[in-house]
Amino acid sequence: MFDFSDQVALVTGSSRGIGREIAIMLAQAGAKVMVHYGRNRVKAEQVLAALGGEPHRMVQADMGDADAVRAMVDETVEQFGRLDILINNAGIYESHPIAEVSYAQWQASWQRVMEVNLLGAANASYCAAQQMMQQKSGRIINISSRGAFRGEPEGPAYGASKAALNAMGGSLAKYLAPYNIYVATVAPGFVETEMAAESLAGESGQQIRAQSPLNRVARPEEVAYAALFLASAGAEFTTGTIIDVNGASYLRQ
């Protein structure tokens, strides 16, 4: 269905979860994929093996380190000669309810979450756009969250980071359009991943699944499908859009 032959894709946070599925589906559609990981090299190697090894590669970078992010993009271009698709998927969630944490804990959570979820994506977008503007083509797809719209009471930094990611995507879509660079966003609700495993266990999991009339949460491949659609040829006029993948658990007007 999708054809990404001869295209190069960098997928941040692709050692597990949604990023892993995006990397696999891109490779199956013909793309050369750079698998990014932060700390878990073993899982990244497993993803690389699942892609078939050559012509794919993997790279390590702390998304909260601006220099490391630049090196990650530079390594991708050096290895493959170009960069056609950036998937800003890497993200972290920290619980920090305002009534339950100290001021120092509050500040630390905001700093860590913003550094990875927002500034990491912003820096990756900047670096990727430099290459894409030279090519006069490219796609930047951000993985946001339902939490950007409905709020995240116990993790407000997460919700704020994703709301800001949405706004950044719209701004870049406007600016980069003359360069034939298209920017769009996928906003999932709960997804069956390691990141959500604890929340989805037990009684809380039943309540979460009941939020959707489908009585379940998304599978990683369903989010990946939306990302690949936005990155595909023919989806250019969706630039600036946000696609919700939350099973009608939260409806925006």
What pLDDT is recorded for position 252?
A: 92
Domains of the chain, residue spans: 8-245
Distance CA 111, CA 78 (A): 31
Residue 126 annotated in active site: no
DSSP string, 121-169: HHHHHHHHHHHHHHHT-EEEEEE--THHHH--TT-HHHHHHHHHHHHHH
Q: Which of 37, 103, 126, 158 is catalytic?
A: 158
Distance CA 102, CA 36 (A): 33
**Alpha carbon 242 to chain centroid, angstroms:** 13
Distance CA 183, CA 177 (A): 8
Q: In 3D, which of 13, 7, 45, 4 has the Cα closest to residue 223?
A: 13
CATH code: domain 8-245 is 3.40.50.720
The pLDDT profile of the chain, 253 residues, written as one tens digit per residue, is 899 999 999 999 999 999 999 999 999 999 999 999 999 999 999 999 999 878 999 999 999 999 999 999 999 999 999 999 999 999 999 999 999 999 999 999 999 999 999 999 999 999 999 999 999 999 999 999 999 999 999 999 999 999 999 999 999 999 999 999 999 999 999 998 877 778 888 788 889 999 999 999 999 999 999 999 999 999 999 999 999 999 999 999 8
Residue 229 tokens read as 């659609």
DSSP string, 211-231: TSTTSS-B-HHHHHHHHHHHH
